[in-house]
């Protein structure tokens, strides 16, 4: 039997002192690549997600949150009150035998615990520490309270979403997702640097600045022309048609994005209206953009008679970029996601079987895996005390 290869980050231990998404989410990715994770939670104020819906069988409980499960599978969990000298001392003992600390609290918080970077370097000189705060470790707004939707607004993303005169939030904390990916990149770069030099370092990541990378063309437009881009609904300034169209059935929709004249002619053929391709109003991208209301009306009338799944197959076969607009139920039943084994099943000691997303990035030789379920609050206190720290106790 062929021996399984070690995962890329096996042998790396990460201490997670974090809550909500960007910290736990980034560490969850690193965990799936083999890192051992010690998640430290305050028993009086555990991870924010533990108290958030959805709950298994809609029954609230500290160990029943699906949101918490999504980000924290495979981690070990211990309870420490970091505000107490004993708890902070125990945390330092864990850091002393670890490689990295990842936190997403406001900069002042870790310093107040006596667990700032300088404090940790005294017990582990080559420690890598990632601070993924809302606004960064310096500047006048460093101590602002931060949650994903507010950071989305601050970063400017919200000013580009929605319809003219009505900016909107994405509906999901997109800044946390962007921030988590950047934390993973920075953490891996720092680990590589330490392997080459033996040096640890401190990583300052501001979620607002991380999200600003999604604003590149809008920022460039303002700096180069003085124009401030505004929300344009589902439309696009470079492509048309570019919209969501209601299909036949209950709340079924189709998204279409046409990038060039060839795709436009293909759409016309699938619609059974080849004459539209030679209509002067729609002859090229600029004229289609000028007459987008009339064109949207024509496509809406056609789409309303179509089955969303069947017509997408026809459009894709013809070279037209299109997709049904999926609900969560649609995603769960999608044949392509099933074929790629996107959803995986885990057995949880309190709520039984759970179906959750698996490893997203799959390396050919070491594809990663998620070991086990999301930990119960304080589940590994005894393991940390007796095995990891050699019976030094948990404060």
Which residues form the catalytic set?
176
Q: Are 17 and 82 in contact (CB under 8 A)?
A: yes
State phi, psi for 174 to the nearest 5 degrees: -65, -30
Q: What is the Cα–Cα distance from 366 to 335, expressed in whole angstroms?
A: 25
DSSP string for 153-209: HHHTGGGGSEETTEE---SS-HHHHHHHHHHHHHHHHHHHHHHHH----EEEEEHHH
Q: Which two tokens stand for residue 256?
A: 């279409």
Q: What is the Cα–Cα distance from 341 to 357, expressed in whole angstroms?
A: 9
Q: Is the dihedral of CA 296, 301, 307, 310 positive or negative?
A: negative
Q: Which two tokens stand for residue 174?
A: 């997109």
Judged by DSSP in three states, 38 sits in strand
């Amino acid at each position: 039997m062929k021996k399984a290869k070690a995962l890329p980050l096996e042998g790396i231990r990460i201490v997670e002192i974090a809550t909500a998404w960007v910290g736990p989410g980034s560490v969850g990715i690193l965990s799936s690549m083999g890192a051992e994770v010690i998640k430290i939670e305050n028993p009086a104020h555990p991870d924010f997600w533990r108290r958030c819906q959805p709950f298994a069988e809609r029954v609230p409980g500290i160990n029943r949150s699906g949101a918490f499960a999504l980000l924290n599978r495979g981690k070990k969990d211990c309870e420490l009150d970091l505000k107490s000298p004993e708890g902070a001392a125990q945390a330092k003992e864990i850091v002393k035998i670890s490689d990295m600390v990842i936190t997403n609290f406001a900069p002042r918080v870790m310093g107040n615990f006596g667990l700032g970077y300088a404090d940790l370097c005294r017990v582990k000189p080559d420690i890598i520490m990632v601070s993924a705060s809302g606004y960064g470790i310096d500047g006048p707004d460093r101590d602002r309270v931060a949650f994903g939707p507010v950071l989305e607004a601050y970063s400017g993303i919200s000013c580009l979403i929605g319809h003219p005169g009505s900016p909107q939030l994405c509906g999901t904390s997109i800044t946390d997702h962007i921030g988590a990916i950047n934390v993973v990149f920075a953490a891996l770069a720092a680990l590589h640097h330490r392997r080459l030099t033996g040096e640890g370092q401190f990583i300052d990541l501001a979620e607002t600045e991380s999200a600003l990378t999604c604003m590149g063309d809008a920022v460039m437009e303002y700096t180069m022309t003085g124009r401030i881009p505004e929300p344009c609904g589902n439309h696009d300034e470079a492509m048309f048609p570019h919209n969501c169209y209601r299909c036949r059935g209950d709340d079924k929709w189709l998204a279409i994005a046409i990038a060039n004249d060839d795709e436009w002619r293909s759409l016309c053929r699938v619609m059974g209206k080849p004459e539209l391709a030679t209509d002067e109003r729609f002859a090229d991208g600029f004229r289609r953009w000028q007459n987008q209301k009339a064109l949207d009306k024509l496509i809406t009338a056609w789409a309303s008679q179509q089955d969303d799944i069947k017509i997408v197959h026809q459009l894709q076969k013809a070279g037209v970029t299109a997709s049904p607009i999926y609900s969560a139920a649609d995603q769960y039943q999608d044949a392509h996601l099933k074929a790629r084994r996107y959803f995986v099943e885990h057995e949880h000691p309190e709520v039984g079987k759970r179906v959750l997303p698996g490893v997203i990035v799959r390396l050919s030789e070491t594809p990663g895996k998620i070991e086990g379920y999301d930990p119960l609050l304080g589940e590994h206190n005894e393991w940390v005390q007796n095995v990891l720290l050699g019976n030094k106790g948990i404060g």
